Amino acid sequence: MKSFEEAKARLESAGQSHVLRFWSELSAEQRVTFLEELSQLDPEELSRHCRTAVEAASLQSSDGERLDAHMEPVPPEFIGSVRKSDQQTLKEWEDEGFLQIAQSKVAVLLLAGGQGTRLGVPYPKGMYNVGLPSGKTLYQIQAERIRKVQELSSVKYDSQCTVPWYIMTSEFTLEPTEKFFKENNYFGLEPSDVVMFEQRMIPAVGFDSKIMLEKKNKLALAPDGNGGLYRALVDNKILEDMERRGVQFIHVYCVDNILVKMADPVFIGFCVKNGADCGAKVVEKAYPAEPVGVVCRVDGVYQVVEYSELKPELAEQRHPGGELVYSAGNICNHFFTRDFLSNVAHTFEGKLKQHVAIKKVPFVDEEGNLVKPTKPNGIKMEKFVFDVFQFSKKFVAFEVVREDEFSPLKNADGAPVDTPTTVRRSLSAQHYRWAVQAGAHFLDADGNPITTKHRTAQDMVPPALCEISPLVSYFGEGLDMLKQKNLKSPFFLNEKNVMSLVEHS
């Protein structure tokens, strides 16, 4: 559909012809791009979308009652735990994970199509420099972890291997992300092993069931949520690409978690050894009202119940030992087999729940003025990546230690949690622990020993500023060169200065 008449007819049948109201004012070029955009809309799908959005917005939060009576925690036999497992078991999982990686059967898939509105920078969140001594961005940290996990697996099993990196982007993030990777030589990865693809965008809908214009020749569109992954896999033939490469297991994660363990061998190994087709990493909830979703069962079916849906009485329920009953906090870190992804993408995608967000959507009014609303005025529909647990034949949860695995960047500095400062501290605290475990001592700027007495892992500010490049250590291994060393804070260990420390060991 590239003609005006065709576009008009299709929009009329969907009850949305108002978006052509400024047609006579558009230049020839603007008309071409607008028609291109409109050609993506299917009239039936569009009217269904508008209807569902308004209905869903009016029904919002009526799920609470239903959930309460039918919820139960994940049964213990389906949860693995780093904290509660012995070293031998953890080692077995890790070996299995490394083996699968060494055979090039594991890929990582990054969800990076979000708009990052809370952080508020005008570029993709992965390009954010969180202020570490190295100045590395989230994308660089993640790329280097892939390089390291490939290297560790290759050395362990004496075979060259590749962990392909699939990156789901959106209209907002594709171009700048591609450019950034090119400018940085893909951070040392093979460019053909970094596969970027785009998720769909869908129109924001007003409370009157009408889609909105962001400009006179542009619809107000938003990405279809991180659950848009499943459609995007089909649209972009990503499953075929995975099959061609022999990928069987996929580790899916969010861009903002600075501690993410790319293709974590322990998690992969745990899931593979348990024959799971779908797995979720979880962390113990910090406190009952913590705003994270809870992995649990509802009517025997696995799902994530959002914190807003969980009544305080349930959130506060505890086992006799004091642990929260609903403690499995979802951190958007998943394991899928390729077969499972294919099944979901081809068979179940249409059954995924539509989540509603009522947002402030800037729009062009009837007179053609751009309005920045002060109150929410539009409905955005999103699908969530975790809504597929219900289709799993063998679901497992894997509880990991928060301090080692989860610290997301959501907000700008000034907010109380999940800011550049808090993620920087989390990383530094972890690397400080690794160095101390390896036998290092830290000194302050005046050369006095930094004492860690009375500190706990939960302390917000790490005793010393410490950064260890992922190219040197993936999860704290291989740091023997730090034994008995006095390290001055801030300390940054990278693949260049590591040699001088080795020589002086």
Verify binding: residue 137, ligand UTP, rule CB under 6 A: no
Q: Are 202 and 381 a contacting pair, CB within 8 Å?
A: yes
Minimum distance from CB of 363 to ligand UTP (Å)? 18
Minimum distance from CB of 361 to ligand UTP (Å)? 13
Verify binding: residue 116, ligand UTP, rule CB under 6 A: yes
Q: Interacting stretch for ligand UTP, rule CB under 6 A, among 61-69, 252-260, 373-381, 493-501?
A: 252-260
Taking the CA atoms of residue 406, residue 74, residue 251 and residue 86 in that order, the dihedral angle to the nearest 10 degrees is 70
Instruction: Indicate the residue among 11 and 229 with the shorter CB distance to ligand UTP.
Output: 229
Instruction: Indicate the residue among 73 and 114 with the shorter CB distance to ligand UTP.
Output: 114
Handedness of CA 128, 131, 136, 139 (dihedral sign): negative
Minimum distance from CB of 185 to ligand UTP (Å)? 23
Instruction: Return phi, psi of residue 480, to 5°.
Output: -55, -30
Residue by residue, DSSP assigns 209-240 as: S-B-EEETTEE-EEE--GGGHHHHHHHTTHHH
Taking the CA atoms of residue 346, residue 350, residue 355 and residue 357 in that order, the dihedral angle to the nearest 10 degrees is 90
Q: Are 304 and 384 a contacting pair, CB within 8 Å?
A: yes
Instruction: Indicate the residue among 226 and 473 with the shorter CB distance to ligand UTP.
Output: 226
Residues 180-209 contacting ligand UTP, CB under 6 A: 199
Minimum distance from CB of 106 to ligand UTP (Å)? 20
Instruction: Indicate the residue among 114 and 269 with the shorter CB distance to ligand UTP.
Output: 114
Instruction: Indicate the residue among 306 and 316 with the shorter CB distance to ligand UTP.
Output: 306
> What is the rounded CA–CA span in Å between residue 307 and residue 89?
32
Among 50, 54, 141, 168, binds ligand UTP (CB under 6 A): 168
Residue by residue, DSSP assigns 130-177 as: ---TT--BHHHHHHHHHHHHHHHHHHHHT------EEEEE-TTTHHHH
Which region holds residue 288: left if phi is over 0, alpha if psi is between -120 and 50, else beta? Answer: alpha
Instruction: Indicate the residue among 108 and 481 with the shorter CB distance to ligand UTP.
Output: 108
Which residues, 6+ apart, have CB-to-CB distance to 158 below 8 Å? none
Verify binding: residue 39, ligand UTP, rule CB under 6 A: no
Q: What x/- string results for residues 204 through 233 when contact with ligand UTP is judged by CB under 6 A?
A: -------------------xxxx-x-----
Structure-token pair, residue 153: 């697996």
Verify binding: residue 118, ligand UTP, rule CB under 6 A: yes
Among 20, 53, 102, 111, binds ligand UTP (CB under 6 A): 111
Minimum distance from CB of 257 to ligand UTP (Å)? 8
Instruction: Indicate the residue among 201 and 479 with the shorter CB distance to ligand UTP.
Output: 201
Q: Are 287 and 458 a contacting pair, CB within 8 Å?
A: no
Structure-token pair, residue 26: 């558009």
Longest dimension (CA), the chain: 78
Q: Interacting stretch for ligand UTP, rule CB under 6 A, among 117-125, 150-158, 313-321, 433-441?
A: 117-125
- Indicate the length of the chain as a whole number: 505
Verify binding: residue 114, ligand UTP, rule CB under 6 A: yes
Minimum distance from CB of 247 to ligand UTP (Å)? 20
Minimum distance from CB of 329 to ligand UTP (Å)? 15
Minimum distance from CB of 115 to ligand UTP (Å)? 5
CA terminus-to-terminus distance, the chain: 70
Q: What x/- string results for residues 384 through 413 when contact with ligand UTP is judged by CB under 6 A?
A: --------------------------x---
CB atoms inside a 10 Å sphere around CB 350: 7
Q: CA Rg, the chain, in Å? A: 24
Instruction: Indicate the residue among 113 and 265 with the shorter CB distance to ligand UTP.
Output: 113
Q: Interacting stretch for ligand UTP, rule CB under 6 A, among 24-32, 94-102, 248-256, 450-458?
A: 248-256
Instruction: Indicate the residue among 73 and 228 with the shorter CB distance to ligand UTP.
Output: 228
Name the residues that contact ligand UTP, by CB under 6 A: 111-118, 125, 168, 170, 199, 223-226, 228, 254-256, 410
